[in-house]
Structure 1
C-alpha cells in the first residue's frame, strides 16, 4: 500500500457537506488518506432533511468506477448509499473484477444505508436482499442498530448484549467482520462500539457526547475505518483510533455553526489548531483567548490594583492564595523539567521551579508569616487542572504557559500606571522586569516547538490545556473581590519590605505578582 492510502468513496452526495461523499472525503483527509469519490446519487438535502434524490443511470456509475480503477491503484473502498438493485449489482461486479485483478486487493468497508433517522426503510425488499449478499464481498460492515436488525431480519436490539448477538449472527451469515455501533441505545452514559466476528468481540467504551451535531457520523466513521485499515491498522486498533477522533469531532461540531437542524461534526478538529494565518500555534491560542484577556483587564481586582483603590485585606488574601499556588506550581515546573526532551528545556523549567519556591517563601515571610494558607476552591481548581495535564510534556507546558504570558501582558499595563504616590507603588514596581519578560518569551518558544512536533491528538489536548489555564487565570484574578476569602492573614512586613526582598533575590522572575 501507498504511504498515503488512496481511498475511494462510492456514495451519495450532501450539498451541505456534512454527510455522504463530502463527509467521506473529509474523514479520509483528516486521517491521512487521499480521497476519491464516485457518485451513486445526487441528493438535495440539508441539516434539516432530504428533499429529493436524483439517481444517474447504472451505466454511468460503471463508467465512473472504471475511470478510477483503470488509472489509480486503490488501497481502500468505502461503500455508502447504493439506492437500488441495479446500482448494487454494478458495484458488486466491479468489486469482484478489481479484487481479482489488483496486485493487492483493496480493503472494502460497507456502510449499509438502509434506514432513515426517522426509522423509515430507504430500500425496497429486493435491494435489502442485494445488500445482504454484498456483505459477503466486503471486509467490514458498519450498520447502526436499525440497519443491523434489517440485515439479520429481526427487531432492533434494545440492549447491548442483544446487539452483540445480532452482530455475531450477521458475521456468521456473511463471513465478514461487523463494526457494532451503540449510538442508538438509549441513555446518557457510556456509548460502546465493538468489532465483532464469529468468535471474538473487541469492545471500545466511550462517553456519549450530548450534541445535535450528529449529521453524517455513520458516513464519517466508516470512511475513517477504511482509511486506517489502508494505513495498516487491524480492525480493533482502527476502531480505537477512529472512535477517539470521532468523539472529538462530535464535541467540536457546534463551533462550525452550520445549519439549523442536525449539524455536521468537525472532521478537522485535530488539525484546526494549526490552521492559523501566521502558522503559529501560540499566536492562535493567544488570539482565541482575546475575550479572556479583556476580562482580566476589566476585572475589579486588576482595575483597583491599577488605580490604587484595592482593599488591603483583599490584596493580602490574594497574596496568601498565590503563596499556596506557587508551592504547587513549583512542583509542576519540576515535572516539566523531568519530561523535557532537551537539556536546554530541562534547565529552563528547573530554574523556574527554583524561582517559584523562592518567591513562595518570600511571600510567606512578608505577608503570610507562620500562618498556614487554606487554599480557596478557585486556587484548588487551578492547581488540580495543572496536575491533570502533567502526564504528557506537551500538554503540561501548554497548561503552564498562561502563568508566564498573561502575567507579562498584564504587568506591562500595570507598570505603566505606577507613580511615586501610588498606593501600591512598591508592588507595581515589580512588574515589567526585563528578565521575566524574556523568560515568558522563552516559554512561549518552547511551547510553540512542542506544538509543532506533537501528534494531532496531543495538539488538540494542548489547546484544551492552554485555554483552561487562561480561564483559571481569570478566575484567580476575580476571586479576591468575589467573596471567596479565607480568614484574614496579617502581613508580617510591609509591601515595601516584600519589594526589597524580591529585588534582592537571585531570581530574575517576580512570580508572586503573577496571580
Structure 2
C-alpha cells in the first residue's frame, strides 16, 4: 500500500461545495398569447438556463405566428405596483426588459430601476417585430433613450439599432458594427450587434456574415470588454421559425450572466443553445407563419436518449455512444485555423503563447476538479488514478510556466472560454455525482489525446523537421503514458455509466457534450483573442 493510499484512508472526505444558487430573473415585457415571444419566451429561456423566472406584464397583445393584430397597454401605475410588490419581497439577480409600449410605462420602469438597482439589466428595445409590426409608439422613442443608460447590455435587432440612432438600417456587417459602436458610445453601455437579419449570401470573404455565417458582436467603447468589439461567429440556421428569437436571446443572456459574470462567456454559452433551438423548431409544429423556437430542445434530446439507453448499457456501449457524439466536435477542431497552423508550424508565436497561458490557467482549475473526483471515487484504484491525474496537471502547469510562458508572455487573466469551461467543470464537481463528474472531465483526456495523435502523425509525415517551431511540443503528443491514462479514464467513465441510473446517464451525456463543445472553443480562443 502506497503512502498516498495510506494517508488518504484516514482523511475525511472533502466537504461538498455549496450548490450554486438558482438565478432569480425578472422579465418586464409584453405578453404573447401564442407563446413564442414576449414574457412567455422569456420564462422558457430563463428556465432552460436554470433560472427562476418572474414576470411583470407591460402590454397585452393579440398575435399569432402571422403577426400582431392589436395591443393593449394597461395603466403604468399597475405595472409600478407589480414591480414594487416583487422587489419588496424578492431579491432579484437580473432583469430583462422587453416590450414597453408607451412613455408612461418606460418612465415607470426607469423609476423602479433607480430604486431597486438590480445587479444585471438587459434591455431588448422591442420596437419592431420580425413581422414588421410596430410595437413601440413613435412618441415614446425619446423616453426609451432615457432608459438606455440604465442597462448593462442592449440587444436591438438591426432595424431597432437604426431607429435608436436615427439612421438607415445597416446593409452589411461592417456598417452594423459601426452603428453598434456609436450607440455604445452614446449610452456608455455594452451593445449586442446581431447579424441574424443580414443577407447570409451577401458580402465578401472578409465579412463574417457572408457565406452562411451568422455572427453576433459585443461592442463597448469604454474598456469593459477584452476589446472594443468582440465577435462571436455562428452558423446561419435555415428555418422559417424565428418568432421570439430576440426575446429568448436577451433573457437567456441575463440568466447566464448572473452565473458567469462575463458578457462574452455568456454569449458563447447562449449562442449554441439558440442555434439548436432554431434548428429544432420544426419539431414544435406551431402555427402557419413564423413559428417559435424550441427552447427545451436539450430536454427532448435527453428524453430521446433515455428511451434509447434506459436499460443498463453493455460494457463499452456508453463510451462508444459518447465517442459518436463527439465526432462533430473533433471535425470542428480539425477545421480550425489554429490547429492547422500549429501542425504546419505557421502559427504566430503570440497565438501559441496565449494558448499556453490559458492552458496553464485551465489546468490549475482542472486539477482541483480531478482531486474532487479522487475524493468521491467508489474504489481505491479510481481514487489513485484521479489523484495522480490531478498531480500530473499541476506538474504540467509548472513545466509550461518554466519552459514556455516565462519567456513568451506575461501573466494574462483567464479568457472567457477558459473561465466558462472551468466553471462548467466546477459545477459538475458539486453535483454530488461521481458519474457526471468523470463524464465532464473526459473530453480533456479523450479529445485532446485524439487531436494530439493526429497532429503528431502529421508532424512525422512531414519528416519531423527540426526547424518546426513547435517540434518539442508536438513530440509530447506521442506520450504513451497519456494515451494509457486516456484509455483508463474512458473505461472508468463507461463503468460509472453502467452503475448509474438512466437519468444520471442522461446527465453524464449532457455534461460530456458541453465539455466537448468547450474543447472546440478552447482551441479557437487564441485566434479570437488575437
Query: Shift of the alpha carbon at 1:223?
Result: 0.2
Q: Is the 8 A contact 1:171 1:196 kept in 2?
A: yes
1:304-330 per-residue CA deviation (whole Å, 9 max, x = no partner) reads: xxxxxxxxxxxxxxxxxxxxxxxxx9x
Kept in 1, the 8 Å contact 2:218–2:230? The answer is: yes
1:270 aligns with 2:307: no
In the TM superposition, 1:323-402 aligns within 5 A as: none
1:173 corresponds to 2:173: no
Give the direction of change, closer, same or farther, for the CA distance of 1:170–1:457 in structure 2 (3 Å limit). farther
| Pair 284,29 (structure 1): closer, same or farther in 2 beyond 3 Å | farther
TM-score (norm 1): 0.56
**Match of 1:294?**
none
Are 1:116 and 2:138 counterparts?
no
Per the alignment, residue 131 of structure 1 pairs with: 144
1:62 aligned onto 2:115 = no
Matched, 1:195 2:195: no
Match of 1:94 in 2: 112
Question: CA shift at 1:135, angstroms?
Answer: 0.5
The structural deviation recorded for 1:461 is 8.7
User: How many residues get paired?
Assistant: 321
SS of equivalent residue, structure 1 residue 165: helix
Q: TM-score, length-normalised on structure 2?
A: 0.55
**Is 1:283 the equivalent of 2:310?**
yes
Q: Is this contact kept in 1: 2:152–2:190, CA < 8 A?
A: yes
CA contact (8 A) 1:270 1:460 kept: no
**Is the alpha carbon distance of 1:190 and 1:280 closer, same or farther for their aligned partners in structure 2, counting shifts above 3 Å?**
same
For 1:272-328, what per-residue CA distance to the aligned partner results, in whole angstroms no more than 9, with x for missing partners?
Answer: 23347x966613999xxxxxxxxxxxxxxxxxxxxxxxxxxxxxxxxxxxxxxxxxx
- CA–CA distance in structure 2, aligned partners of residues 202 and 256 of structure 1: 33
Retained in 1: the 8 A contact 2:121–2:153? yes
Q: 1:179 to 1:269 in 2, by over 3 A?
A: same
Q: 8 Å contact 1:19–1:219 — kept in the other structure?
A: yes
Q: Answer yes or no: is the 8 Å Cα contact 1:149–1:166 preserved in 2.
A: yes
Listed one character per residue, the Cα deviations across residues 99-149 of structure 1 (whole Å, up to 9, x for unaligned) are 1xxxxx321000001123244543333311111111111111000111000
Cα drift, residue 211 of structure 1: 0.6
**2:401 matched to which residue of 1?**
none
Structure 2 distance, partners of 1:459, 1:236, is 17
State the alpha-carbon separation in 1 of the partners of residues 36 and 293 from structure 2: 7
Tell me if the contact between 1:142 and 1:179 (Cα under 8 Å) persists in the aligned partners: yes
SS of the residue aligned with 1:453? helix
Partners in 1 of 2:133 and 2:39 — Cα distance?
22
Deviation string for 1:17-64 (max 9, x for gaps)? 111000000000110110000001111111111121121111111111
Cross-structure match for 1:140? 153
Counterpart contact for 1:394–1:450, Cα < 8 Å: no
Aligned partners of 1:2 and 1:75 also within 8 Å: no
Verify: 1:453 aligned to 2:480, yes or no.
no
Q: Is the 1:211–1:251 contact (alpha carbons within 8 Å) kept by the matching residues of 2?
A: yes
Check conservation: 2:67, 2:131, Cα contact below 8 A.
no
Closer, same or farther: CA 16–124 of 1 in aligned 2, 3 Å? closer
User: Is the alpha carbon distance of 1:456 and 1:256 closer, same or farther for their aligned partners in structure 2, counting shifts above 3 Å?
Assistant: farther
Find 2:68's aligned residue among 50, 58, 65: 50
Contact 1:41–1:55, Cα closer than 8 Å, also in 2:
yes
Matching of residues 144-293 of structure 1 within 5 Å: 144-188=157-201, 189-198=212-221, 200-275=228-303, 282-283=309-310
1:273–1:459: 8 Å Cα contact kept in structure 2?
no
Long gaps (5+) in structure 2: 1-18, 202-211, 314-319, 328-372, 383-441, 448-493, 518-530
Q: Equivalent residue of 2:36, what SS?
A: coil
- Give the match's secondary structure for 1:35: strand
- SS of 2:35's equivalent in the other structure is coil
Q: Distance in 2 between matches of 1:450 and 1:444?
A: 6
Measured after TM superposition, the shift of residue 257 of structure 1 is 1.2
- 1:5 matched to which residue of 2? 23
- Give the match's secondary structure for 1:51: strand
Q: Could you list the per-position Cα deviations for residues 457-492 of structure 1 after superposition, in whole angstroms to 9, with x for gaps in the alignment? A: 827999xxxxxxxxxxxxxxxxxxxxxxxxxxxxxx
Distance 1:97 1:343, change over 3 A: closer
Larger Rg: 1
Q: CA deviation at 1:255?
A: 0.7
Measured at CA, do residues 444 and 455 of structure 1 come closer, stay the same or move farther in structure 2, by a change above 3 Å?
closer
> Could you list the per-position Cα deviations for residues 236-266 of structure 1 after superposition, in whole angstroms to 9, with x for gaps in the alignment?
1111111011011111111111111111111
Alpha-carbon contact 1:4-1:32 (below 8 Å) kept: yes
Could you tell me which residue of structure 2 aligns to residue 27 of structure 1?
45
Which residues in structure 2 correspond to 1:424-463 (within 5 Å)?
A: 445=498, 450-455=505-510, 458=513
Cα offset, 1:16, TM superposition: 1.7
User: Do the aligned residues in 2 keep the contact of 1:110 with 1:142 (CA within 8 Å)?
Assistant: yes
Aligned residue in 1 for 2:3: none
Measure the CA separation in 1 of the matches of 2:80 and 2:108.
6
Cα offset, 1:450, TM superposition = 4.5
The 8 Å contact of residues 191 and 205 in structure 1, kept in 2 or not, is answered as: yes
Please say if residues 443 and 515 of structure 2, whose CA atoms lie closer than 8 Å, have aligned partners that are also in contact: no
1:451 CA drift (Å): 3.2
